[in-house]
Structure 1
Amino acid sequence: MYITNWQNQAEQYLLQENYVEAAKLYEQAIAIDPNTISYYWHLGQLLLLQGQEAEAQMTWMLPMTEADEEQVQIWTNELFQFLQIEAERREMLAEYSLAWLIRQHMQEIIPSCTNNLLKILLLSIKLQNLEQIDELNERGLIENLKSKEDLEIDIELLIEVLQEFLATVPLHPINLNLIEASLPYFSDTHQCFSILLPAAMQIGHTLRQPVLAASLLELYLRLEPNNVEVLRHLATFYQDARNYSQGIETAKLCYSLSEGLADKIFALHLLLRGLMSGEHPVLEDLSFMGKCKGK
């Protein structure tokens, strides 16, 4: 009964953000029962929440110093899961700075957890911490995604990260690399389509960066190379970037893939737009239409 009461009291102190008093209870518990590993997890977390990061790490590592390799691995996973619960609680409360801090230490405990790296990226965007975005790239986030060794990627989290990233920092240099590394995880191409097409429209038209917008759509075409809607926008971005040859060739492809009359007319409009913008022999470029009809 005594144990239940003091642990409940410590939990109340945590919820009240009275970390000092909660820590005292766990210090007393460790003095009485130093073999209960979870006490070290709680005490370290409370020290971390007080800003005592080095002390927190020392507390977590203390019981592992005399353990064998197998036991260390088990306790490492337990500690990671324990901290994740608190990080998720802070995220639910929109306490992003604390959640970010906790996840930073989780990343030090298990550096290879890609889902945690994605969470750190998401929190960094919310906190407008652009320097952290560059650092995450250095820590291997994109390499982890490309390696495909982490088979438990949270696709919903990945979608949220990409949406937030493209909405908040659409021109960031990591943009294309992150999207390219994420493509293999989309079993549903429509999910990727619903992220990349609106982003490309914003980048190409609102932000007037047609080259980057075209690059986004080129990546999507790896998943669905004959998507007429994507090809239409891609032709426009090529032309806006004065890449008339590719714009014309893409418009031709749109025309050949279009089935309905309205789609064919729109593709023809794109072709004429490219021909009128660049210096091309119009009749020669239009001659392909006869070949398409003859197929």
Structure 2
Amino acid sequence: MATQITQGELPRIEAQQALQKGAYRTAIALYQSLIALEPHIQQHYWYLGLGQLLQGQPEAARTTWQGLLATAPPDQRGDWETALIQILQQEAQRRSQGQDYAGAWLLWEQIQDLHPPLESPTDATILTQQLQTLRDTDQLAIVTGVSPLLGQVLCQLASEPRPQVNPELLHQSLQRLLTDALLCPTTLKFAAACLPYITSPQPWVNRLLIAARQSSLAWGTSDLAVQLAGFCNQLQPDDPATLQSLSEFYYRGGRFAESMATTRELISLATHTPEKTLFSLSVAPLYAHV
């Protein structure tokens, strides 16, 4: 016997369908209407914020969520946050199963903001185990399950005094993230957190430049490429290969003044270093207008 849908349930079903189909503007309008009709139903607010987030309105989403959470009785706020997090987790898992890893990580970022990892005393053994888990986890699990773990690792790496870290394990963990989660914002945070621990920069520079070039050429995300190349420049200042790449990424991102300034710096270095004179002669005519 077919289940009969009541008139009151129909708007909720339509809103859910719009959200799942990616019709976020429609979903937002439907959930706003539902809130007007049923302001006491928490889920309407959680899903409204979800639609706003996926529509590219993260501030509106946080305002929606925090506005309702602010009304929670003190002894119930934790339960309300848990209900919201469960909805975000379900959507993150649905997206990761559909290989929408960027969308899944967007949701995990919000989960971390709502429920950041608790800082714990730094323990080198625990940190090593966490990095090993990160290094050895498959791609799907990186997106669906490692994000909270990665938040804990970031807290550990940022702690003072700095914990003892196996640099090779740290490098392998970053390699895994650059390979399987390059476009995820937390990957950039992890790369930045690694910088103070690097004593032999060349392997790191090589891997970061590969990721930066992939970001720029394959994904068209020049801003990410600039940030990754900027990390390389921090590790090896005045390195010609890094500066050349950085100039290119600036140019691809439409940041022409910064591209020209980096090129001037590159040519200046080449002309003041005898072994790079040949490079200067070859590149100077290309940038004669700079």
Q: TM-score, normalised by structure 2?
A: 0.52
Pairwise CA distance, 1:148: 5.1
CA contact 1:214–1:238 (8 Å) conserved in 2: yes
Go from structure 1 to structure 2 and tell me whether the alpha carbon gap of 1:176 and 1:266 turns closer, same or farther (over 3 Å shift).
farther
Instruction: Encode CA deviations 1:94-125: one digit per residue, 9 max, x unaligned.
Output: xxxxxxxxxxxxxxx99842112212222334
CA distance in 1 between partners of 2:285 and 2:146 (Å): 41
Partner residue of 1:263? 279
Whichever of the two has the greater Rg, that structure is 1
Partner residue of 1:114? 127
CA contact 2:222–2:249 (8 Å) conserved in 1: yes
CA distance in 2 between partners of 1:144 and 1:266 (Å): 46
CA contact 1:200–1:213 (8 Å) conserved in 2: yes
CA distance in 2 between partners of 1:217 and 1:117 (Å): 27
> Which has the higher mean CA deviation after the structures are superposed, 222-231 or 142-151?
142-151
- Aligned residue runs from structure 1 range 50-199, under 5 A: 112=123, 113-138=126-151, 140-147=152-159, 149=161, 151-199=163-211
CA distance in 2 between partners of 1:212 and 1:243 (Å): 13
CA distance in 2 between partners of 1:266 and 1:244 (Å): 21
Gap runs ≥5 in structure 2:
1-119
Following superposition, which runs of at least 4 residues in structure 1 exceed 4 angstroms of deviation?
Answer: 109-112
Instruction: Encode CA deviations 1:209-230: one digit per residue, 9 max, x unaligned.
Output: 2211111011121121111110
CA distance in 2 between partners of 1:193 and 1:201 (Å): 12
Partner residue of 2:220? 208
Pairwise CA distance, 1:141: 1.1
Q: TM-score, normalised by structure 1?
A: 0.51
Go from structure 1 to structure 2 and tell me whether the alpha carbon gap of 1:134 and 1:267 turns closer, same or farther (over 3 Å shift).
farther
Go from structure 1 to structure 2 and tell me whether the alpha carbon gap of 1:189 and 1:170 turns closer, same or farther (over 3 Å shift).
same
Pairwise CA distance, 1:235: 0.1
What do you get for the CA RMSD once the two structures are aligned? 2.4
Go from structure 1 to structure 2 and tell me whether the alpha carbon gap of 1:270 and 1:179 turns closer, same or farther (over 3 Å shift).
farther
How much identity, in percent, do the aligned residues show? 22
**Are positions 1:236 and 2:271 aligned together?**
no
CA distance in 2 between partners of 1:147 and 1:267 (Å): 44
Go from structure 1 to structure 2 and tell me whether the alpha carbon gap of 1:120 and 1:204 turns closer, same or farther (over 3 Å shift).
same
CA contact 2:212–2:229 (8 Å) conserved in 1: yes
Partner residue of 2:234? 222
Which fold has the larger relative contact order, with Cα–Cα distance below 8 Å and residues 6 or more apart in sequence? 2
Gap runs ≥5 in structure 1:
1-108, 273-281, 286-295
Go from structure 1 to structure 2 and tell me whether the alpha carbon gap of 1:269 and 1:132 turns closer, same or farther (over 3 Å shift).
farther
Pairwise CA distance, 1:134: 2.2
> Which has the higher mean CA deviation after the structures are superposed, 197-206 or 223-232?
197-206
Go from structure 1 to structure 2 and tell me whether the alpha carbon gap of 1:268 and 1:148 turns closer, same or farther (over 3 Å shift).
farther
CA contact 2:175–2:207 (8 Å) conserved in 1: yes
Partner residue of 1:30? none
CA distance in 2 between partners of 1:128 and 1:157 (Å): 19
